[in-house]
Amino acid sequence: MKERILVVDDERNLLMVVKDYLLIEGYEVYTAENGRRALEIFQEVKPDFLILDLMLPDISGEEVCKKIRSEGDTPILMLTAKTSEDDKVEGLYIGADDYMTKPFSPRELVGRVRAILRRTKGSGVSDILEFNEGDLSIDIPKHLVKKAGAEVSLTPNEFKILLTLAQNPRRVFTRAQLTELAFGFDFEGYDRTVDTHIKNLRQKIEDNLKEPKYVVTVYGVGYKFLN
């Protein structure tokens, strides 16, 4: 069962980026742009982890943290633009498990989430993905892909694209989303580069290039993974 993460931040662009990175890692993600909605969603879904911005437009992040902490021990990672040591100490004092200042690396944030969950309850995300009774398998820690039991040699970028799609089956990704999620914000290439990687990837994992059963084109939009 996927672990549920609630991300609370009033910066919508940041909220969507964090959500996408967490989805890639296989988590179930919920979002809220203010404190009241965050508390409502928290009661509805009982998330396994909370990523919480301190500077919210209605109820402060500190108050949300205190309210949630009074009801249980859900791990909380705080986000804030405040950088003083006193602010960090205060955040930890009211119940946060970790603290990150903006701007931050989404990849580092995901790493911290994974580490805290592993420490508090063990990770619920599988390290090996299998499809069609083992016809295709992806060993995430080893960066190893097998097709019909034989190892497939993928470039790092091909692996990143395949993993992004496979961890979010049937979700359609645009070229721009795949570029950002697989290669990062600092990638300076043209987003059509993704098409070349997809073509090469299909040649390695598909039985029939004319009728792919894994990486499928959604015309006019992008690509999705069929499971």
DSSP string, 81-126: S---HHHHHHHHHTT-SEEEESS--HHHHHHHHHHHHHHHT---S-
Least confident of 67-76, 93-102, 116-125, 205-214: 116-125
Q: 156-225 — its CATH code?
A: 1.10.10.10
Reported as a single tens digit per residue, the pLDDT across 117-159 is 877 765 455 578 899 989 999 998 788 999 999 999 998 889 9
Which whole number is the average pLDDT over 31-57?
A: 93
- Comparing CA positions, the residue from 90, 72, 68 lying closest to residue 80 is 90
What is the percentage of the chain residues whose pLDDT exceeds 90? Answer: 44
DSSP at 3: P
pLDDT at 176 over 90: no
Q: 4-120 — its CATH code?
A: 3.40.50.2300
What is the pTM for the complete model shown?
A: 0.60
Q: pLDDT: is 125 or 52 the higher one?
A: 52
Which whole number is the average pLDDT over 9-17?
A: 93
Residue boundaries of the structural domains of the chain: 4-120, 156-225
